[in-house]
Chain A
Amino acid sequence: MTSPAMKRTARVAFGGAIHEAVEHTEGVQLTDGRVLPETEVVWLPPFEVGTIIALGINYADHAKELAKELTMSAKDEPLAFLKAPNSLIGHRGSTRRPIDATFMHYECELAVIIGKTAKNVARGDAMGFVAGYTVANDYAIRDYLENWYRPNLRVKNRDGCTVLGPWFVPAAVVADPHALDLRTFVNGKITQSGNTRDLINDVPALIEYLSSFMTLSPGDVILTGTPEGVVNVNPGDEVITEIDGIGRLVNTIVGDDAFGR
């Protein structure tokens, strides 16, 4: 018997209300007992999201992949940037690809959710500040990249371009967050794979670094970066970002027409 604190949880909309839900063999079970297939509910990001911190180039292989457009190599200080809630959507949502884009790509990332206020946390204590994990798919549209405050928000902070879910996975059920295979499928074909053991800055390093100058609060989330294997995606493509033990996050690319543009 799994205790409630060890269960993977979700936030879903169903029947005109927003519900907490837990994983069930037939889909999800709402707090009121109803069991529903996962396609019958609307999936929201699985926790109340605070500050969103994302890492660029935090896997060695991805750094090499982007080397053409970088004017520097991966250096000691993590390349962190911020995103806003307008960018968030949940599992099974749709993300718009603008008609003028030529290179829009997914990024499968382990998302680390902060559970308690963290300021000047030492590496050795850092894991105690982690509430849990989820999967992030952090889209970028590279056509809009400018060499000012990279990556500029027009590339990385577009509406619906940060997919989170399906589950909030409590830290206690993840034995080692630095030994997780992650992969992306586009229309069922694997296009990206990696393992969190290859993070340049691991989770404790990121918490130690960030908390040295900014207080982290419960609900703040760190998107830890993506390995190599980013490819262009087009309207109609189904993009699945998956991390073993954390979740399988489904998203569909749509065109401007779906947004009345």
Chain B
Amino acid sequence: MNTARHPARRGTVYGTLLNHRDALAALGNAVNEPPYKAAPKAPILYIKPRNTWIDAGQPIVVPAGVDAVEIGATLGLVIGRPACRVSEADALSFVAGYVIVNDVSVPHESYYRPSLRFKARDTFCPIGPFVARVRVGSPDALGIVVAIDGETVHRANTAGLIRSTARLIAEVSEFMTLATGDVLSVGVAAGAPRARAGQRVSIAIDGLGRLDNPLISEGALA
């Protein structure tokens, strides 16, 4: 099977909550206290709907009244064929390739039941160019660098994932089918940087190139 091409159509873009060891550790014992009462057991996913999707170069719109937005740099796994109940050993064969995902959020404290206003806003999911799986090494050892106005502000590595990419696909596909063209982003590391209107954010992932987007204020759209 040819996995070198991007699927004809983008499906659903999923984000994964707290799948970096350092991101979970940063919450400390709060994970055991109300309202959470326990650390996540199964993968906790959320959806970045189609109104959030933009390409490289298009502006991220910072809402009025928000000082800075959080830049969630992460690796997106582009599904190449339907994945239902796949084993960890087979999981990567369901991946056509990779994209850089900038999972933008309005900063928020609680992960209990955050409002869609924080993550589902227009322009809040820049998605970078597609690179076929066969052209990238292990997806579990990719460095991620975030720069704002050319200055490196954050470094992470997919080696820090709690569930490896293959493990994540296996566990997700146990309770829902991933479709061709779906993008499963693997989770954001601790200490996600923030950026303001007027700045330019750039995310680089080893082997995938860069995803650059300017930020503008909502008022600038009027």
Contacts of A37 in B (CB 8 A): none
Q: Assess whether B47 is interfacial by the CB under 8 Å rule.
A: yes
* Contact among B35, B116, B176 with A159 in the assembled complex (CB-CB below 8 Å): B176
A71-B34, A84-B12, A217-B50 known; A147 vs B112 contact (CB < 8 Å) = yes
State whether the Cβ of A85 lies closer than 8 Å to any Cβ in chain B.
yes
Residues of chain B contacted by A71 (CB below 8 angstroms): 34-35, 112
Counting chain B CB atoms within 10 Å of each CB, the highest count among A85, A148, A149, A150 belongs to A148
Binds B, one of A75-83, A121-129, A186-194, A239-247: A75-83
Q: Which of A197-224 contact B (CB under 8 A)?
A: 210, 213-217
A248 to chain B, nearest CB (A): 28
- Distance of A201 from chain B, by nearest CB (Å): 13
Whether A82 touches B40, Cβ cut-off 8 Å, given contacts A77-B115, A154-B175, A213-B63, is no
The digit string for B110-144, where 1 denotes a CB below 8 A from any CB of A, is 01111111001110000000000000000000000
Q: Which residue of A lies closest to B121 (CB)?
A: A213
How many whole Å from A155's CB to the nearest CB in chain B? 9
Is A51 within 8 A of B63, CB to CB?
no
Cβ–Cβ contact A87 & B176, under 8 A: yes
User: Residue B26 at the A interface, CB < 8 A?
Assistant: no
- Digitize A80-96: 1 where CB-to-B-CB distance is under 8 Å, 0 elsewhere: 11111111000000000
* In the complex, chain A residues whose CB is within 8 Å of the CB of B84: 159
Contact A146-B41, Cβ < 8 Å, known A50-B50, A82-B46: yes
Complex Cα distance, B50 from A216, in Å, reads 9
The answer for the CA separation of A159 and B85 in the assembled complex, in Å, is 12
Q: How many residues of B contact A (CB 8 A)?
A: 40
B49 & A82 in contact (Cβ 8 Å cutoff): yes
What's the least CB distance linking B210 to chain A, in Å? 27
Question: Residue A152 at the B interface, CB < 8 A?
Answer: yes
A148 and B122 in contact, given A87-B176, A153-B46, A214-B51 (Cβ under 8 angstroms) = no
Q: A50-B50, A148-B17, A149-B114 are in contact. List 4 more A-B contacts (CB 8 A).
A: A149-B45, A213-B122, A214-B49, A215-B122
Closest A-B pairs by Cβ, 10 of them: A82-B47, A84-B12, A51-B49, A148-B44, A153-B45, A150-B113, A215-B51, A147-B36, A71-B35, A213-B121
What are 25 A-to-B residue pairs whose CB atoms are below 8 Å? A53-B116, A77-B115, A82-B120, A83-B47, A84-B12, A84-B176, A84-B182, A86-B176, A86-B178, A87-B176, A144-B42, A146-B38, A147-B36, A148-B112, A149-B114, A150-B113, A152-B45, A153-B45, A154-B176, A157-B45, A158-B175, A213-B122, A214-B49, A216-B51, A217-B51
